[in-house]
A and B are shown apart, each in its own frame.
Chain A
């Protein structure tokens, strides 16, 4: 292969190759370009969330009433768990940047330790997010959906939320879940809600201290609670379906779009965290087998570090726009 041209006659001139534009290596520069484009993707999603939220600004669910759970603790406590998740992610960003720093100083064992801690932090975060999803999907109070897709929730006279399970009166049931064996056209259907609208209505009639809460926000930023008579007529005239928890079509917290965006954006972010963890594990093993020691630089750690910090950066915005604002 001696015939391959190795000299172009331009060595040493600006465009002769081997230059590092903006004093960054090719890999780092490309990682930055990728991050810019990925940031635009996320902004697209978050801006779309903002669009839908502005569209329904008078009836959007209040995040503090939706994300109130902490594992093993049964009182409502908004913000605490998501603050913990945020802190875990920031902490794993710190261990990542410490790994990069140790790499600059060619300290292999420190890189291994810090990469390991970063991976653990990432796994805790993904696990927390899975738990958050599970809680969100399961729901806690249940609600009735109207013909128009609005959500009616239940409160007692003090304004405290009441679960449908606590007041619905179960009567004779004729409706059974359709299965393939007995269904017309051998068609099956999804799980039926635990209660029918009629059972909710009888329960509501029997409990004079329970009122219906609609999605409309008052001037104080709270949900509107209807009077007793209005509660009954609203449920009787418009109630269509009992909704428990959340899926892509309906959710007990309010506008279906709220759950759609929650699943999509935190899901997309969670997928980034997951792939970040996988990439970190690959690099972690490369560090252990000494790949970068032989290469005499740990720039690869720096590049995955950039990606990892970016995931943290995105979470900072998701946290603000889903949980705070």
Chain B
């Protein structure tokens, strides 16, 4: 029985190793609680320094457009929101990997689930947010976006 349910008993790339699965579960709880606490504290106090994006958009030719696209999380996203989103993904990772035992599944089961979901979700988010932003710009420029 023990053979069939072998658990990988380390997290944070082997930084923390545990003697039993139960021990690992409690450690993950502590980790998730700390992350949530950080989010809540940042959410309540909203430090002024973090309420604007890290860079202002680059201006100029093709290369700066490219840089704006590649670095868009740092150019268009408030640093605070970027931190929230990263921390959320961290939490999602530990819930999936340790609570749902994704860490112990075969490589291809993991890829099957994660790659499919991540790809489709990224696509969906890109399309809808892009379109929402476009409509906003139509509103804010008096209903004419591209005056040909």
* A and B bind: yes
Give a binary string over A86-115; 1 marks a CB under 8 Å from any B CB, 0 the rest.
110011011011101100111000000000
Residue contact B25 to A83, C-beta cutoff 8 Å: no
Is B113 located at the chain interface by the 8 A CB criterion? yes
A residues in contact with B70, CB < 8 Å = none
Give the residues in chain B near A53, CB-CB below 8 Å: 132
Bound CA span A204–B145, Å = 39
Most buried by A among B25, B40, B120, B129: B40
Number of B interface residues in the complex (CB < 8 A): 54
Asked if A48 and B128 sit within 8 Å, CB to CB, the answer is yes
Closest to B95 in A: A313
Residues on B with beta carbons closer than 8 Å to the beta carbon of A105? 1
B148 proximal to A (CB < 8 A): no
Of chain B, the residue at the smallest CB distance from A97 is B99
Contact B109 A24 (CB under 8 A): yes
User: Which B residues, 115 to 135, have Cβ-Cβ distances below 8 Å to chain A?
Assistant: 116-117, 120-121, 124-125, 127-129, 131-133, 135
B108 on the interface (CB 8 Å rule)? yes
User: Given the interface contacts A313-B92, A324-B84, does A90 sit within 8 Å of B117 by beta carbon?
Assistant: no
Residues of chain A with a CB closer than 8 A to B106's CB:
22-24
CB <8 Å contact, B109 and A325: no
- In Å, the complex CA distance between A57 and B129 comes to 11
Q: Are A24 and B105 in contact (CB under 8 A)?
A: yes
Q: Taking CB as reference atom, which chain B residue is nearest A103?
A: B5
Query: Given contacts A36-B116, A97-B25, are A79 and B125 in contact (CB under 8 A)?
Result: no
A259 to chain B, nearest CB (A): 18
Contacting pair A22 B128 (CB below 8 A): no
Chain A, 99-138, CB within 8 A of any chain B CB: 100-101, 104-106
A interface majority secondary structure: helix
The answer to whether A39 and B121 touch across the interface, beta carbons within 8 angstroms, is yes
A320/B85 in contact, CB under 8 A: yes
Cβ-based interface call for B36 (8 A): yes
Q: Which of A25-74 contact B (CB under 8 A)?
A: 29, 32, 35-36, 39-40, 43-44, 47-48, 50-58, 64
Quick check: A325 and B81 within 8 Å, CB to CB?
yes
A47:B22 contact, CB within 8 angstroms: no
Contacts A39-B121, A79-B44, A325-B84 given; does A51 touch B129 at CB 8 Å? yes
Give a binary string over A291-315; 1 marks a CB under 8 Å from any B CB, 0 the rest: 0000000000010011001101100
Which residue on A lies nearest to B83, using beta carbons? A324
Q: How far is the CA of A319 from the CA of B135 in the complex (A)?
A: 26
Q: Which residues of A contact B112 (CB under 8 A)?
A: 22, 32
User: A52: nearest residue on chain B (CB-CB)?
Assistant: B132
CB-nearest residue of chain B relative to A296?
A: B1
List of A residues within 8 angstroms of B84 by Cβ: 320, 324-325
- Is the C-beta of A12 less than 8 angstroms from some C-beta in chain B? no
> Taking A39-B117, A51-B129, A79-B43 as contacts, is the C-beta distance between A96 and B88 under 8 angstroms?
no
- Closest chain-A Cβ to B44's Cβ sits at a distance in Å of 5
Any B CB within 8 A of the CB of A221:
yes
Query: Which 4 A-B pairs rank lowest in CB-CB distance, beginning with the nearest?
Result: A54-B132, A51-B132, A22-B109, A51-B128
| Sample (15) of A-B pairs whose CB atoms are under 8 Å apart | A24-B109, A32-B112, A43-B121, A51-B131, A54-B133, A54-B136, A55-B136, A55-B139, A57-B136, A90-B29, A90-B33, A94-B26, A98-B22, A106-B1, A312-B95
Q: A47-B128, A320-B39, A324-B42 are in contact. List 14 more A-B contacts (CB 8 A).
A: A35-B113, A39-B121, A40-B117, A51-B131, A57-B133, A83-B37, A90-B29, A93-B95, A94-B99, A101-B25, A310-B100, A312-B95, A313-B95, A316-B91
